[in-house]
Amino acid sequence: MIDMKTLTKKELAGMMDYSILPKNTQEKDIREGCAVAREYRFAAFYSSSPYWTPLIKEELQGCDDIEIGTGIAFPFGSTPASVKALEVEESVKRGCTTVDMVMNIGALKDKRYKVVEEELELFVKAAGNAVTKCILEVCYLTNEEITAGSKLIEAAGIQYAKTSTGQFDGPDMDQFLIMRDTLAGSAVKLKAAGVKFPRPQNALVFIKAGAVRIGTRAAIEIVEAYDTMKSIGLIG
């Protein structure tokens, strides 16, 4: 758990996985996003496709503390396991140091656990030394399915369990707590994405509940609200 009493603004920024994901993203948007990531020293900078990864790698040269990330089978997750693995391999080859793969939610809901196990095994193998994060998209899952999906992530040796893509409804606290409690005592870390408005307050609540990363395009807003959040007692 993060100690909210001693959390600094710099440490808060270091928990943000900042993203530029719009479908109409252009080169200037990526370059501007990388400049922001450098300025704030966010944990990671994500684009919607490994197409942008060489440009991001160029812009973040020398910033080894900032992960370069992208989404795999984003945002639907129903791509066959072998295709997901190829996408992971290509992403890493192009310079990604972290990859967020969307779990096959249909297979999970149908209790076709072997399908999910296969894709997670291939994901970990294809990622190599890159940081692995698996997205559950909890807004479409029952409590029992969230538990099952979390256990599959743990069994596969994936490093992070992530709530959502942020493209649909974000998680509520009850859903996040099911993930947290299921993974308690494991090595899996928690990433909350799709945080709802007002984002600064809600992001801090997820951190207080156990998230160590927040995936968001609103990273600047969250970090710049630090002093206000401290003044009202959410920090310190």
Please report, for residues 6, 21, 34, 141, the alpha-carbon distance to residue 169 in angstroms, rounded to integers and kept in the order given. 31, 16, 26, 12
User: What pLDDT is attached to residue 227?
Assistant: 98
223, two tokens: 């970090």
Q: Is 100 a catalytic residue?
A: yes
Pure H helices in 110-198? 113-127, 143-156, 173-182
Give a yes or no: residue 44 inside a domain: yes
Q: Is 162 a catalytic residue?
A: yes
Give a yes or no: residue 38 inside a domain: yes
Dihedral sign, Cα of residue 222, residue 225, residue 227, residue 228: negative
Give a yes or no: residue 187 inside a domain: yes
| Catalytic choice (110, 162, 172, 174) | 162
User: What pLDDT is attached to residue 1?
Assistant: 85
* Residues of the chain below pLDDT 70: none
Domain of 197 in residue numbering reads as 9-231
User: What pLDDT is attached to residue 13?
Assistant: 98
| Catalytic choice (110, 191, 227, 230) | 191
Give a yes or no: residue 1 inside a domain: no
Taking only Cα atoms into account, the Rg of the chain, rounded to an integer number of angstroms, comes to 17
Q: How many CB atoms lie within 10 A of CB 124?
A: 19
User: What pLDDT is attached to residue 127?
Assistant: 98
Give a yes or no: residue 2 inside a domain: no
State how far the Cα of 144 lies from the Cα of 212, in Å rounded to an integer: 23
| Catalytic choice (100, 172, 196, 227) | 100
* CATH number of domain containing 83: 3.20.20.70
Q: Considering its fold, how many domains does the chain have in total?
A: 1
State how far the Cα of 60 lies from the Cα of 14, in Å rounded to an integer: 15
Q: Which helix (H) or strand (E) holds 9?
A: helix 9-13
